């Protein structure tokens, strides 16, 4: 769990790096808000294109090895960013970085589904996703402080160092589990059975996601969601079940078509992508906005962002635990409802938090908003595994990550365009070479960013409403995924027990 969290931490640190060093990067290369946003946009767009093939590799190859190699390449691309001698070269290094960071989402989702029991996935995800926020905080604090002391180049290079250590830790200590939950980590287990060991069992199928004949796949056995669906007599969607065929042997287009047929999965993809859309703009321009809006220096700004990050971590942990407890008490759609409410609360509290010019009022509001914005991620990530057959987890996550990265890609660029349209021009340069946030030009830039943030609250609230509107179809899609796995196993010659 810690190793998977560290993977997302490294990804989060990279995503926050550009925003953290924006105050030094803008005057260093003399770039505008739009050009600053474009750095994040190109990286995310390439990541979006790469996630589909990465999802295929995740379902077909050794995930730990794929992840380890990718993280080494991460470090190389991050170091190259710090050595860039022009804006064009920096854009090219961010393109390369986007391609290799695409590995994180599909591999972490697939490994989480195979290693941990389904009834605890919201809680498990809350700990793993904490890594993403902790990494973003690490990126803001470390890259921000280092760039303030040594310049923007050092801010990039310092983030390359942890990748080498993490790649070795993954290769050395993270086991490659068998697919479909065959080697899931159960309470009291001394070790995790590897994919090879599971495949060598007398009645095992292979490492592609099969289960032992005569048994239900471990990924669904003991699943409280499936149990409640059966107790309530929820019928599967036959069109979705028929489209699954044999999930382990689907080609790329069949897998993508199936993933997009699952209504709950599509709603989760859209809603979570809208949440990340707002977050991408926030992390790119938050330092500039907070400094200018409240008239404080970079050190205090980073301290405030660290406080907001801690509130977000608390929101993750509480949401994961709350969703699983509600599920245990018979609230079948708890994971979807917790996600929808989180987005609505975040949108409602960010509005007054951004408009107030008093830190004493804004900080508590934005702390709760940060917790609410982070809260949907663990239950929604767990729900995505509930509604898709285990053999498609990597490819399903690839489709979701592609849309998430696409919206994330355009978020900083759109935030920059809107901010400049409403008064924020290119960064004014102060006498010491830093961004001047005081004076008329600086005030216009801050006001433009405020308008951008407020307008982007509309899709965030829409994400919450969309989840609550579609929550009733979740049970049908859970039943469909379970039935698809059962039929696929039967076609391979097993006689699974009824779930």
Of 23, 41, 446, the C-alpha closest to 281 is 41
Q: Does the pLDDT at position 343 exceed 90?
A: yes
Band of residue 27 on the pLDDT scale cut at 50, 70, 90? low
For 58-75, the pLDDT digits (tens) are 887 888 889 998 888 888
Contact status, residue 25 vs residue 152, Cβ threshold 8 Å:
yes
Domains of the chain: 2-175+257-425+434-479 (1.20.1250.20)
Q: Does the pLDDT at position 495 exceed 60?
A: no
For 458-475, the pLDDT digits (tens) are 989 999 999 999 888 899
CB count within 10 Å of CB 172 equals 10
Q: Which residues face 435 on adjacent strands?
A: 429
The model's pTM: 0.73
Of 56, 67, 75, 52, the C-alpha closest to 103 is 67
Among the ranges given (272-281, 368-377, 390-399, 487-496), the one the predictor scored with the smallest mean pLDDT: 487-496
Of 165, 169, 195, 167, the C-alpha closest to 182 is 195
d(CA 285, CA 305): 12
Find the helix packing angle between 298-328 and 224-231, rounded to 10°: 40
Residues 6+ apart with CB under 8 A from 96: 46, 73, 77, 80
- For the ranges 190-194, 378-382, 392-396, 453-457, the maximum mean pLDDT occurs at 378-382
Of 284, 252, 260, the C-alpha closest to 403 is 260
What sign has the CA pseudo-torsion 234, 235, 240, 245? positive
Contact status, residue 387 vs residue 477, Cβ threshold 8 Å:
yes
**DSSP conformation letters of 380-409:** HHHHHHHTS-GGGHHHHHHHHHHHHHHHHH
- In this prediction, residue 468 carries a pLDDT of 93
d(CA 255, CA 244): 8
Distance linking the first and last C-alpha atoms of the chain: 28
Q: Does the pLDDT at position 192 exceed 70?
A: no
Token pair recorded at residue 51: 């996630």
Band of residue 345 on the pLDDT scale cut at 50, 70, 90? very high
Radius of gyration of the chain (CA): 23
Of 311, 279, 330, the C-alpha closest to 463 is 279
Contact status, residue 464 vs residue 341, Cβ threshold 8 Å:
yes
Q: Find the mean pLDDT for residues 224-234.
A: 85
- In this prediction, residue 438 carries a pLDDT of 45
For 95-135, the pLDDT digits (tens) are 887 777 778 888 888 888 888 877 788 888 889 988 887 88
Residues 6+ apart with CB under 8 A from 200: none
Long-range CB contact pairs, 182-188, < 8 A, 24+ = 182/114, 182/211, 182/212, 182/217, 182/218, 183/114, 183/115, 184/114, 184/115, 184/116, 184/117, 184/218, 184/219, 185/115, 185/116, 186/117
Contact status, residue 413 vs residue 52, Cβ threshold 8 Å:
no
Contact status, residue 14 vs residue 131, Cβ threshold 8 Å:
no
Q: Does the pLDDT at position 263 exceed 60?
A: yes
- For the ranges 102-111, 239-248, 313-322, the maximum mean pLDDT occurs at 313-322
- In this prediction, residue 314 carries a pLDDT of 92
d(CA 160, CA 162): 6
Q: Does the pLDDT at position 312 exceed 80?
A: yes
Residues 6+ apart with CB under 8 A from 91: 38, 39, 42
Classify 97 as helix, strand or coil.
helix
For 371-393, the pLDDT digits (tens) are 999 999 899 988 988 888 877 88
Find the helix packing angle between 2-20 and 121-138, rounded to 10°: 40
Residues 6+ apart with CB under 8 A from 190: none
What sign has the CA pseudo-torsion 319, 321, 324, 327? negative
- In this prediction, residue 219 carries a pLDDT of 46
- In this prediction, residue 384 carries a pLDDT of 87
d(CA 370, CA 367): 5
**DSSP conformation letters of 23-47:** HHHHHHHT--HHHHHHHHHHHHHHH
From the number of C-beta atoms within 10 Å of its C-beta (0-12, 13-18, 19+), residue 74 rates as buried
Mean pLDDT (the chain, rounded): 77
């Amino acid at each position: 769990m810690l190793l998977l969290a560290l993977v997302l931490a490294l990804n989060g640190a990279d995503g926050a790096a550009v925003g953290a060093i924006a105050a030094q990067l803008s005057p260093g290369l003399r770039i505008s808000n739009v050009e600053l946003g474009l750095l994040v946009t190109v990286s995310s767009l390439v990541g979006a294109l790469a996630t589909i093939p990465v999802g295929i590799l995740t379902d077909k190859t050794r995930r730990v090895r794929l992840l380890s190699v990718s993280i080494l390449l991460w470090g190389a691309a991050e170091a190259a960013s710090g050595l860039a001698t022009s804006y064009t070269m920096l854009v090219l290094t961010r393109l390369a970085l986007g391609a290799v960071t695409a590995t994180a989402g599909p591999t972490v989702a697939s490994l989480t589904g195979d290693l941990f029991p389904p009834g605890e996935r919201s809680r498990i995800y809350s700990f793993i996703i904490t890594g993403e926020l902790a990494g973003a905080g690490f990126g803001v604090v470390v890259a921000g402080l280092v760039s303030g002391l040594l310049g923007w180049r050092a801010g990039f290079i310092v983030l390359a160092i942890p990748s080498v250590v993490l790649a070795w830790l993954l290769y050395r200590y993270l086991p490659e589990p068998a697919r479909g939950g065959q080697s899931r980590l159960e309470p009291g287990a001394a070790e995790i059975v590897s994919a090879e060991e599971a495949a060598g069992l007398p009645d095992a199928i292979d490492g592609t996601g099969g289960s032992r004949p005569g048994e239900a796949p471990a990924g669904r056995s003991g699943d409280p969601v499936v149990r409640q669906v059966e107790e309530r007599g929820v019928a599967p969607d036959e069109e979705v079940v028929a489209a699954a065929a044999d999930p382990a042997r689907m080609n790329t287009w069949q897998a993508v078509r199936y993933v997009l047929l699952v209504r709950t999965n599509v709603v989760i993809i859209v809603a979570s992508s809208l949440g990340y859309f707002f977050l991408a703009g926030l992390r790119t321009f938050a330092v500039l906005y907070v400094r200018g809006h409240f008239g404080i220096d970079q050190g205090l700004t980073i301290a405030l962002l660290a406080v907001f990050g801690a509130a977000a971590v608390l929101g993750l942990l509480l949401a994961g635990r709350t969703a699983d407890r509600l599920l245990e008490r018979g609230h079948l759609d708890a994971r979807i409802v917790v996600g929808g409410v989180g987005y609505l609360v975040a949108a409602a509290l960010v509005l007054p938090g951004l408009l107030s010019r008093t830190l004493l009022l804004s900080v508590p509001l934005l702390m709760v908003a940060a917790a609410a914005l982070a809260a949907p991620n663990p239950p929604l990530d767990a729900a995505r595994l509930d509604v898709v057959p285990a053999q498609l987890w990597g490819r399903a996550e690839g489709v979701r990550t592609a849309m998430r990265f696409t919206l994330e890609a355009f978020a900083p660029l759109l935030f920059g365009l809107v901010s400049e349209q409403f008064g924020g021009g290119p960064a004014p340069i102060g006498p010491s070479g830093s961004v001047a946030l005081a004076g008329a030009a600086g005030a216009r830039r801050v006001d433009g960013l405020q308008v951008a943030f407020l307008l982007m609250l509309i899709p965030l609230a829409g994400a919450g409403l969309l989840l609550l509107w579609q929550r009733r179809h979740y049970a049908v899609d859970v039943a469909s995924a379970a039935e698809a796995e059962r039929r696929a196993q039967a076609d391979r010659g097993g006689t699974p027990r009824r779930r």
